[in-house]
Structure 1
Amino acid sequence: MIAELSIKNFAIIEAVSISFDKGLTVLTGETGAGKSIIIDAIHLLAGGRGSQEFVRHGEKRAEIEGLFLIESEKHPCIHVCHELGIELDDNMVVLRREIHASGKSVCRVNGKLVTISVLREVGRTLVDIHGQHEHQELMNADLHIDLLDQFGNETINKCVEAYNNVYDHYKSLEVRLNDLTTNEQQMAHRLDLIQFQLEEINNAKLQPKEEEELLAERNKISNYQKLFQALNNSYYSLHGEQKGLDWVGHAMSETEALKAIDPKLGTIYETISNAYYQLEEASYHIRDEIDQLEYDPERLDFIEGRLSEIKQLKKKYGSTVEEILEYAAKIEEELETIQNKDSHIHKLQQELESVESDLLLEAKALTEARTKAAVTLEEKIHEQLRDLYLEKANFKVNVTSHNKFQKNGVDAVEFYLTTNPGEPLKPLARVASGGELSRIMLAMKSIFSQHQGITSIIFDEVDTGVSGKVAQAIANKIYSVSVESQVLCISHLPQVAAMSDTHLFISKEIDKDRTKTRVNILSTEEKVNEIGRMISGIEVTELTKKHAKELLQLANRQKEIK
């Protein structure tokens, strides 16, 4: 849910900070007070298109910041942030957007600078905005298959996963077969290229870890003088008259003579004795290293040449010798495939036919799962439509299959509707009128909000064009959506305002010849007055206050039923 929203120098808003709670928050106020501006700010915060026109006149930039709380470990935002390399702290997400007067836009997620596309990717998992004329997701037939899959939940997801596993294999085989059966000239060029590359790598006779060993040897030869002097000094510090081993040997003899007098000195003797023999062994190793040291300028020249050759190969074929050898193995396999193209084509065709049979089975299972889910979805939508006094409307989820394998199966899904008995079903976007569209959208959102995992749903005047019992039905439906998800709603309907858990009143005032927007949380008495104003439209009388109180009592009874 969105917990905090801070807006500064945005349109007519100078500075506003708003706290939001769970449940249904309704925003009301006079036309032009800035209600929709607040929703516009949230839209921009979630990656919407910005413009310097949003910057308050005379200011350098507009700033919008929102704090979102993630309450479920399975929330889609967590996965998206993980994929994008964005760290989450205590399951909190802070989105920030700055729009400069110059037109530049700066976006941040949890303090990390991101592009607008990344901000949009995160924002779409947190906020779902529905305006009076903006039902893009529900009106876009291309997205209906995703909505059905979300509704089908685990049953369809398992079928999609099984289908995709086979589909990915099928597409890889298809690509390989296509590479072998098209463009003979390009394949001939490819054959010449990889033959040359393989010959160049093979002639180099590279060995694993060769570069590391050569670098170590070069370092040793290059530092011959330093090594010889250090080892020689170390050896003569230990060996010789009055040197290290002499003194340690003397200490060992003295303590050996004393241990018969004091047994506790036996431990000291053992320690010194062990040290003596270890130092003696080390001195022998030093002597052997000195004997093996050799300064060979010809060997150094060979190493430099070999390292240069490896460096050139690394520029072409990989960052390490191991990667070069892996590349050689890969193109050797490719070379064999091209040289024996006909047999590989036959083998791939047979494998592709076998995988295609498996893919058809998985596609059929997916279609059956979607068809079954479509029937259940139709029943659920009809229940919602009846609640909104669209009992004569007929909703249909049209699942059709085509012969082309695609990432999400072989199905096309589109929502169809008719609101008048006797009229044929038509695509959703071509049927509903303004008032009907609001109710249909609410019916669908009541279903899909339970499956999408969106943190906050925002309705911007979706109740326009309705009144009476339909208005109360819409109010009830918006509240029912808020039971599953936090809902922010701009409304001119007193019925919707009465159902709110939190009522924010948006007003504007003139201060020093500048317009400012204010946001106030209404108390119970203030809520009665505001609902009374919404009922009467002009003057709040005792009668309208009475009606407002009755509406609030009705709302409370409706909430208890929910």
Structure 2
Amino acid sequence: MLTNLHVKNLALIDEAEVAFGPGLNILTGETGAGKSILIGSINLALGKKMTREVVREGASSCLVELVFQIENPQILSSLKAMDVETEDGQLIITRKIQDGRSISRMNGETCTVSQIKKIASLLLDIHGQHEHQSLLYQDRQLEILDAYGRDTIGPLLEETAEKFTDYKKLQKELEAYQMNEEERAREISFLEFEIQEIDEAALDPAEEEELERRYRKMSNSRKIAEALNQAYQLTGYEAGAGEMTGRALKELSGVASFDEELEGLVSALTDIDGLLNDFNRDVSAYLSDFTFSEEEFYETEKRLDQLNHLKSKYGKTIADVIDYQERQKRRLEQLQNFEARRELLSDRYEEAVKRLELASHNLSAKRKEYSRELSKQIIIGLQELNFLDVSFEISFSRTDHYNKNGFDEIEFMISTNPGEPVKPLAKVVSGGELSRIMLAIKTLLADKDNTETLIFDEIDTGISGRTAQKVSEKMARIGKGHQVLCITHLAQIAAMADVHFEIAKQVEHMETLTRIRRLSESESVQELARILGGAEITKTVYDSAREMKELAQVQKTSRLKRTE
């Protein structure tokens, strides 16, 4: 479960530390106090996109830290499979935002936002203020059904997606063979021309470098010759360095016998004289061999032009040109064996269609099996939420095409009044009813996937009275098996709190800040009175709030317990 939340410099929060408890955690406060900012901070830590306004005015950065204590062995096993190690079941997720960039960490190690999102799906489920509207979309309805039967439907879904990938690949290949004889003849002619043009060039990947070396040498031959002649003269034995060195060696050798230390100098100068002599000889030899004909230069230049022309048409390098030719040869072979190849592909395509059809059929059959179970469970859940006489069905139809999810198209059908036929969800329910339906579904899915923490952001939209009481009982019942964080405006729901927090907006030093604090039992009653009484809290209102709190506790320990 989520044990701690630490927020610093986020929107109106300068710094907040919240220690959540097990069971039902209720968050209440005046409109605009910043309740949704708190849920937003959790979303932000778990990878939600950020806006520039997220960092508090005047601060250079903001930080959100979540501490989870995980006890569910299945979740721990799933995390381990994702190479996420916990320390005695504890996992700390942080996200720091500075200069428009963010850094996420898990237990101190830097990680990507996509990794955080994947892990977050195991740890908690957040129901936003308007998420129930997604129930109106049929693709979302299909996701809910698949999630409900994930243990059995999941593998079938993966198999169907795999078969669909094979089917699409073959379909694309077969489409390439949809051409008439004239188009085929024209493409064959073009391919033969390209292949022949490259063949005639007799390409060798190693040749280009040698050609460029020779061309560079030939095109700069005059500069090379002039530089070598100059070097030969300057180091030679006719008024050059060679002559000067020889004379110096003669002078030094004449006096070497007078001092033994001079022998080292004579030896060094002898080496220099020998090196100059070897250098002169090598330069002379290079100049003697440094000849080529105009025809050789022309042929080298012409060959380079040919290679550059091919590269401009078929690839950046000679190796690319050769690869291109191989591809064109394969395409030519396909076209030359067009009918046989098309027939083979057609047969493979038909087999792929059959395999996809079978996988989609098996998937659909299992979905229909689970749809009946899901419908029954949703009806039970809705009855608990004050839908007194409700019918719920999941209708199936087949799409006119395949996709990675098979061929099913489903629609949630409901009737909330006796004697009325079921109709599509979008045509029947109000916003408050839709919110309750989503609550029932979220409860079912949470029990299926072992999610430890559920977060509801104003699930009470559009409800009041007896319905609100039913929702509060449902929330309390969920809180017996899960940790629940719930933002609410309704006293009936708030009264059920196992842990109650107040979120308030305060002005300190000319600055508006959001504060959050855990309420004691008496303070919780005071907050309920505020919700019930509005601007003026009379003794009667306070007594009603205290009675509501006491009745809620009785319900949690007696009637709710008997319905487990």
**Counterpart code for 2:177:** L
Question: 1:449 and 2:450 equivalent?
Answer: no
Question: CA 1:555–1:453 in 2, change beyond 3 Å: closer, same or farther?
Answer: closer
Question: 1:513 and 2:510 equivalent?
Answer: yes
Deviation at 1:165, TM superposition (A): 3.8
Aligned pairs (5 A) from 1:495-510: 495-510=492-507
Question: 1:48 and 2:48 equivalent?
Answer: yes
Cα deviations by residue, 1:248-287 (Å, 9 ceiling, x for unpaired):
xxxxxxxxxxxxxxxxxxxxxxxxxxxxxxxxxxxxxxxx
- Of residues 408-417 and 538-547 in structure 1, the stretch that sits farther from structure 2 once superposed is 538-547
**Counterpart code for 2:558:** R
**Counterpart code for 1:164:** A
Cα deviations by residue, 1:395-430 (Å, 9 ceiling, x for unpaired):
221211123111110111222223234545443234
Deviation at 1:14, TM superposition (A): 0.9
Cα deviations by residue, 1:476-519 (Å, 9 ceiling, x for unpaired):
21233334443210112233223222222223333222233322
Question: 1:492 and 2:479 equivalent?
Answer: no
Secondary structure at the aligned position of 2:63 is classed as strand
Partner residue of 1:15? 15
Question: CA 1:528–1:160 in 2, change beyond 3 Å: closer, same or farther?
Answer: same
Partner residue of 1:65? 65
CA distance, structure 2, for counterparts of residue 174 and residue 123 of structure 1: 37
Partner residue of 2:5? 5
Aligned pairs (5 A) from 1:15-414: 15-72=15-72, 74-75=74-75, 78=78, 82=82, 87-90=84-87, 93-100=91-98, 104-110=100-106, 120=117, 122-181=119-178, 184=184, 336-414=333-411
Structure 2 unpaired stretches of 5+:
207-310
Greater radius of gyration (CA): 2
User: Identity, % of aligned pairs?
Assistant: 33
Question: 1:415 and 2:400 equivalent?
Answer: no
Partner residue of 1:556? 557
Question: CA 1:87–1:427 in 2, change beyond 3 Å: closer, same or farther?
Answer: same
CA distance, structure 2, for counterparts of residue 331 and residue 493 of structure 1: 72
Cα deviations by residue, 1:216-240 (Å, 9 ceiling, x for unpaired):
xxxxxxxxxxxxxxxxxxxxxxxxx
Query: Is this contact kept in 1: 2:476–2:556, CA < 8 A?
Result: no
CA distance, structure 1, for counterparts of residue 390 and residue 364 of structure 2: 26
Query: Is this contact kept in 1: 2:62–2:97, CA < 8 A?
Result: yes
Secondary structure at the aligned position of 2:176 is classed as helix
Structure 1 unpaired stretches of 5+:
206-311
Deviation at 1:114, TM superposition (A): 6.2
Query: Is this contact kept in 2: 1:396–1:416, CA < 8 A?
Result: yes
Deviation at 1:380, TM superposition (A): 0.9
CA distance, structure 2, for counterparts of residue 190 and residue 2 of structure 1: 65
Instruction: Identify which of 473, 476, 487 aligns with 1:476.
Output: 473
Query: Is this contact kept in 1: 2:26–2:486, CA < 8 A?
Result: yes
Tell me the TM-score normalised to structure 2 length.
Answer: 0.68
CA distance, structure 1, for counterparts of residue 452 and residue 401 of structure 2: 36
Question: CA 1:25–1:181 in 2, change beyond 3 Å: closer, same or farther?
Answer: same
Query: Is this contact kept in 2: 1:67–1:95, CA < 8 A?
Result: yes
Cα deviations by residue, 1:431-489 (Å, 9 ceiling, x for unpaired):
32132222222122121222345453211121133333322210121233334443210
Secondary structure at the aligned position of 1:492 is classed as coil
* Count of matched residue pairs: 447
Partner residue of 1:298? none
Secondary structure at the aligned position of 1:135 is classed as helix
Question: CA 1:335–1:109 in 2, change beyond 3 Å: closer, same or farther?
Answer: farther
Deviation at 1:117, TM superposition (A): 6.0
**Counterpart code for 1:440:** I
Instruction: Identify which of 430, 433, 443 aligns with 1:433.
Output: 430
Question: CA 1:70–1:341 in 2, change beyond 3 Å: closer, same or farther?
Answer: farther
Question: CA 1:444–1:58 in 2, change beyond 3 Å: closer, same or farther?
Answer: same
